[in-house]
Amino acid sequence: MKNLIFFGAPGAGKGTQAKKLAEKFNLKHISTGDVLRAETANDTELGVKAKVFMSKGELVPDEIIIGMVEKIISGLLDKNGFILDGFPRTNPQAVALDSMLEKYHISISDVLFLDVPKEELIRRLSLRADIEGREDDKNSAVIENRIKLYQQKTKPVFEYYSNQNKFRKITGVGNIDEIFNNILTIIN
């Protein structure tokens, strides 16, 4: 299996690149944000719980997210592999991911980080608000909170994967195909 993790701040373009990679290598794209938005739209128990956090730009509690991801991954063991987009976002999530992967005798091949400066992130998020209409992209205080939490909680996870020698940084500014080609060079 080829199992990848995509890191990047909100608006870094990880969803776009993850979709392209998933298509090229026939991998399952797992966006925890998309899964949560679907749960919220369907008013499921999980969706109702998650909405409280998502609408404020807070992180959904680790135990909720970890259970949700394990359910998805355990259904993919006979497939080519997966790309995690938006998970793990905290150190406890990264540790829980490793223990679940160990249980299933699989592992992460590469961890990709799309690096984009903050001013560019804010510009892209306000464009996306107009195009996709996501509630959490429309409010500048919510955007700031998401970027702040990314700095505080998610950036420390980079070290976890550097220590495993899996962390690869890619410049996330430029045209989509150029960035995609840089990603291909790195993972091949």
Chain residues binding ligand AMP by CB under 6 A are: 10, 32-33, 36, 53-54, 57-60, 65, 86-87, 89, 93, 136, 146
Separation between Cα atoms, residue 15 and residue 79, nearest integer Å: 20
Annotated active-site residue in 128, 153, 166, 168:
128
Catalytic residue, candidates 14, 37, 51, 124: 14
- The answer to whether 168 is a known catalytic residue is no
Of 54, 85, 76, 173, nearest to 124 (Cα)? 173
Least distance to ligand AMP, CB of residue 85, Å: 7
- Shorter beta-carbon distance to ligand AMP: residue 13 or 183: 13
User: How far apart are CB 21 and ligand AMP at their closest, in Å?
Assistant: 16
CB of 11 to ligand AMP, least distance (A): 9
Least distance in angstroms from the C-beta of 35 to ligand AMP: 8
From residue 150, alpha-carbon distances to 14, 25, 83, 188 in Å are 14, 28, 19, 28
Nearer CB in complex with ligand AMP: 33/172: 33
By beta-carbon proximity to ligand AMP, the closer residue of 148 and 181 is 148
Active site residue 128: yes
Nearer Cβ to ligand AMP, position 121 or 183?
121
Position with the least CB separation from ligand AMP: 33
Report the alpha-carbon distance of residue 11 to residue 122 in Å, rounded.
7
Known catalytic membership, residue 134: yes
Catalytic residue set: 14, 89, 128, 134, 146
